Structure formats: C-alpha cells, structure tokens
Amino acid sequence: MIVAIRQRTCYATDMGQLTKAIAAAVKASDQTPYAIAKGAGVARSQLSRLMSGERGLNSETIELLADYLELQITIEPKRKTTKGR
C-alpha cells in the first residue's frame, strides 16, 4: 500500500492509483495547476496530461510534485490474510 498524506487528508492507494492520488491533491490545492507545475519544476504539459487522465508520471516527477504539495509518500507491506480461518 502507498499512502500520500497532505495535512489531514489521506489518499490510500495501490501502485496503480498513485498518480490519481497526486491528481486529487492537485485538485484539492488552492493553487492553479500552472502554479503547481512551475513551483514543482515540472512541465505544464506533463501535469496537464496527468490531470486529464491521459497518462501517468515517472517516479522523478511524482517525487517533485509530492514534495511541492507537501505530500509524504509511504510504502508499507500488504497486510497478510489468513485464508480459511
């Protein structure tokens, strides 16, 4: 499980949902996507494609955006289930 945390909002995701959590944090921000892209040092076109659902992001871009948005990304092991008990 990957958890992206900003202030008191928590976005719990699996690996396939990480970019959706970043997009949700961008939407929840009080800044424009342009200001976020500029502040994070990523191309506006990259952020625009993410927000439109056109494509995901590479790990470097995820780190830049998470840092700028004050998100903490935590990777935790999956919980073990006891089948048949």
CB 66 within 8 A of CB 3: no
| The pTM of the whole model exceeds 0.75 | no
**CATH superfamily of the domain spanning 2-75:** lambda repressor-like DNA-binding domains (1.10.260.40)
Return the H-helix or E-strand segment holding 24: helix 18-28
pLDDT surpasses 60 at 72: yes
Q: For the chain, what are the domain ranges?
A: 2-75
pLDDT given at position 1: 47
**Nearest residue to 69 via CA among 36, 34, 47:** 36
CA distance 37 to 30: 13
- Measured in degrees and rounded to the nearest 5, phi and psi for residue 59 equal -65, -35
Structure confidence by residue, pLDDT tens digits, 13-68: 454 578 888 999 999 999 999 999 999 999 999 999 889 888 778 888 989 999 99
pLDDT given at position 36: 97
